[in-house]
Structure 1
Amino acid sequence: MRTISPSRAPALTPAAIPAAYALETVPRYTSYPTAAQFGPFVDEALYRRWLAELDGETPLSLYVHVPYCRVLCWYCGCHTSVLNDDARIARYARRLEQEAERVAAAMPRKGPVAHLHFGGGTPTILAPADFVSVIERLEASFPFAPDAEIAVEIDPRTLTEEMASALAGAGVNRVSLGVQDVDPEVQRLVHRVQPTEQVAAAVALLRANGIHRINVDLMYGLPKQTVAHVRASVAAVLAMAPDRAAVFGYAHVPWFAKHQAAIDAALLPGAAERLAQAAAAAEAFAEAGFVEVGFDHYARPDDPLAIAAREGTLKRNFQGYTTDTAETLIGFGASAIGALPMGYAQNEPHLGKWAQAVDDGRIPVVRGVPVTPEDALRRAAIYALMSRFDVDCGALAAAHGVDEAFFDAELERLDPLVADGLCARAGRRVTVPPHARFHVRNVAARLDAHWAPQASRHSRAV
């Protein structure tokens, strides 16, 4: 058995880490294996078997994907398209209800739903009555915990009084508002013109209807964006008193999201500027008393997300950092992904094919990947790094019933990162110091059996 010698990272600042690491393309690790490993290994028949085998005692999490927007934002990397046909959107809602009923029928044992999340696209593109109807059908198909969190992503530009009232009436108790950047020129360059007053009005409307748990989403790395822009955006959203914020780095992947070709790549900030913008956002939120959660989320100290980070119970899923501890996530809608103890299952992303599958009485799962015991071990190690910036690889391997030396080759791969200040290692224990937290994905990638430095299917590390 090899002996892993202790090593320590030197005291450095984020700017001292070589820029090459920021340019690496690495997964966001909202799943493991990542979506890059999904394939035709999971079909409807296998998914139905998995559903039938679920334990009815453990909580469930539900995700509903609404892949439509009124206007396409050029930075978006999600499965969505522009649609202004309200009748077609209503038909999509009816099919969501049918899919939910069909999946529930395939589950002889159903634990209580602790979390329900509507994402997109723009979930509030649904008519208020249709949105309420979808939630009512979900509640009729699955048992909901009395304190279930029901969260919805909202485009502040299209929120109406009627929709805010419908959200509250349907039990929505958390919302996320996309802000990105408040500078008019940056907004114009990404095709999302959204005055700050419009966002503030949406927040006030939600609170007037009794919805007080407010999240905001910001971005860095946008065209012509600067550190000053980021600081101004943080100041603007802090004036609205949100509970949580997420600050995502723009991922320029026009080969995947073809509409991103409308963004002039020559106007995008370089690696050093992107890192400075991420650090500026972190500093601004810290100055306001927010707690850092993971590498890109911030929360008030008394928020459940901050408490989970402090107590070491923070989790990670397709929505990023979360307090959701459910081991089973069921996805509904075109392209939606489910995460079950046995593996990941993704619905048909093509809207027409997804609709036809639902109309034909099928569950529209077409791809995914089973999770092997080795995958589960690697996922636990990666998630520990991503959520706690610390993992004892030897102890974790032993807890999974394998030799403590399982990760030794990966630990050797970390030696250059230790030398460059991205992490420290003592025996088989790996930690990511505060100055390197924006690079935690670089460190986690070295524990990934599928990742290679030359891979380009992922976003830049910073």
Structure 2
Amino acid sequence: MSSQNGIEAATESFEAPEKAPTWLGLQAPRYTSYPSAQHFHRGVNTDQHAAWLSSIDKNQTISAYVHIPFCRELCWFCGCHTKMTYRDEPIEKYVRILLDEIALIGGHTAGKGKLKQIHFGGGSPSLLNQSQLMSILYALASAFEFSPPGELAIELDPRTTSEEKIAFYGSLGFTRVSMGIQDFDPKVQKAVNRIQSFEMVAGLMQHLHNAGIHQINTDLIYGLPYQTVTSFERTLKQTLSLAPSRIALFSYAHVPHMKKHQRLIDEHALPDDRTKLTLYRMATEFLLANGYTAIGIDHFAREDDALAVAANTHRMRRNFQGYVTDTTDILLGFGTSAISQFPAGYTQNYSATHEYSKRIEAEELATCRGWKAGAEDSFRKEIIDTLMCYMEADIGQIAARHGLDANICARELTLLQECAYSDIAHTKGNLVQIATPYRMASRAVAAVFDQYQLPDSARYSRVS
């Protein structure tokens, strides 16, 4: 059977489930950290941040995340820390402050640590001009021991990307790009204020290949207004015609109480829970039938992609960038809202540009809050990361690695046998396995092992 016919057959076979799963609507963190960032507090301040920076050993490996918060237009579905600007001056000023922060952090580390990976995120890093991008890379190379990184990556907004910019990325040695597609349907795009044609994206993809950049991620979102199984199938077919090496299939989290601009979205046009589940199942079967491997809760990759290789060899990790092949010891975040990850905890910068700038201009770290790991944190983090990455975890083996009793999670294992979890998790002794085609449900299972899970669960997005 051809893949085209297989896709059509798979799509036609999917109907909304007659009965909603018991886990549907549970609220849980996405676990890009443990604990989730909602638990960060101001007790972890600039002094703690400085101490962790100064403790970096010269042989430790580092990855850098550089946050560029600016966008030309506001996408109404967005949950990131961004701000709109139609002018170039705010970007230029921000980059100057960013360069000062890189130098400041480099001073705290005394140049120790080997920089191995760099990722530009946002916002829209594609707004940076050539001079700005070069100056940031030069600052990083000056602040740390630097050799050509294992991965140099950037997130691109098709609407602010050009053939000239792509050629420049290729000349600098960028190895991977992430391109936000979300949905190609014009009605859906208009409903979320993200207008970009398939032809525009296809042209940029060709320019990327011409520039020698072949590792291309694309982002899709299910659960957007006016999406239907038929329309989203069309988007999937168009996306696969572009042959990306990696596809992220994100669930739209409608949280207007947290992101006020989401109030611009017509809630009556959002798919209901049953339709959203059908969209997910259809998309999953579509991608699996067309040569992609399921990775974690929301990623798909070709078998030869680095993420698929890392998953198969259990070297994949989950952090604030999602699923990564990053094997470095420390993640340093630069820019507004950026989070740094150390062996002993996390720190986060101020999100407001004016507050961030004020601290850096005063030659202070821009730390606003963080988390210092407690006695059981590394143990529980490994359980949660393992479940989120591989859909199973042997609690006894993990406990042994941390010098803990194998029965330390007896209460949690008993809880997983209750009705709410009966159709998503199986337990056999200390082994927990996610037992559902809805891989995103692993968030709900992981939350059982979270000792900091808040009773005010409305602070988290729904599992769907």
| 1:200 corresponds to | 202
Q: 1:213 and 1:395 mapped to 2: Cα distance?
A: 35
**Gap regions ≥5 residues in structure 2:** 1-14
| Change in 2 beyond 3 A, CA 1:46/1:348 | same
Q: Deviations over 1:226-255 (max 9, x none)?
A: 122222111111111110010100001111
Q: 1:295 and 1:246 mapped to 2: Cα distance?
A: 9
Q: 1:244 and 1:197 mapped to 2: Cα distance?
A: 20
Q: 2:210 and 2:48 mapped to 1: Cα distance?
A: 46
Q: Deviations over 1:161-198 (max 9, x none)?
A: 33212222222110000000010000000000111111
Any idea what SS the aligned residue of 1:169 has?
Answer: helix
| 1:238 corresponds to | 240
1:58: Cα distance to partner?
Answer: 2.5
Is 1:422 the counterpart of 2:413 in the alignment? no
Q: 2:263 and 2:438 mapped to 1: Cα distance?
A: 31
Q: Deviations over 1:370-406 (max 9, x none)?
A: 1113111110000011111111112211221122111
2:97 is matched with which residue: 68, 92, 95?
Answer: 95
Q: 1:213 and 1:417 mapped to 2: Cα distance?
A: 43
Any idea what SS the aligned residue of 1:97 has?
Answer: helix
Any idea what SS the aligned residue of 1:151 has?
Answer: strand
Q: 2:18 and 2:154 mapped to 1: Cα distance?
A: 39
Q: 1:452 and 1:88 mapped to 2: Cα distance?
A: 38
Contact 1:14 1:435 in 2 (8 A): no
**Gap regions ≥5 residues in structure 1:** 1-12
Which letter maps to 2:227? Q
| 1:333 corresponds to | 335
Q: Deviations over 1:352-386 (max 9, x none)?
A: 01111111111101101111131111100000111
1:39-438 to 2 correspondences below 5 Å: 39-108=41-110, 110-416=112-418, 420-438=422-440
Identity of aligned residues (%): 38
| Change in 2 beyond 3 A, CA 1:441/1:234 | same
Q: 1:365 and 1:169 mapped to 2: Cα distance?
A: 34
| 1:37 corresponds to | 39
1:321: Cα distance to partner?
Answer: 0.9
Larger relative contact order, structure 1 or 2 (CA cutoff 8 Å, min sep 6): 1
Any idea what SS the aligned residue of 1:361 has?
Answer: coil
Q: 2:211 and 2:56 mapped to 1: Cα distance?
A: 37
Q: 1:86 and 1:419 mapped to 2: Cα distance?
A: 51
TM-score normalised to the size of structure 2?
Answer: 0.94
Q: 1:182 and 1:442 mapped to 2: Cα distance?
A: 30
Q: 2:147 and 2:232 mapped to 1: Cα distance?
A: 39
Which letter maps to 1:282? T
| 1:448 corresponds to | 450
| Change in 2 beyond 3 A, CA 1:452/1:14 | farther
| Change in 2 beyond 3 A, CA 1:434/1:57 | farther
1:220: Cα distance to partner?
Answer: 0.2
Contact 2:349 2:367 in 1 (8 A): yes
Contact 1:129 1:166 in 2 (8 A): no
1:217: Cα distance to partner?
Answer: 0.3
Q: 1:390 and 1:144 mapped to 2: Cα distance?
A: 37
1:19: Cα distance to partner?
Answer: 3.4
* Stretch moving more, 131-140 or 31-40: 131-140
| 1:8 corresponds to | none
Which letter maps to 2:242? M
Q: Deviations over 1:124-169 (max 9, x none)?
A: 1112211121112112212234342011000011112332122222
How many equivalent pairs are there? Answer: 450
Q: What's the RMSD between the two structures over aligned residues?
A: 1.7
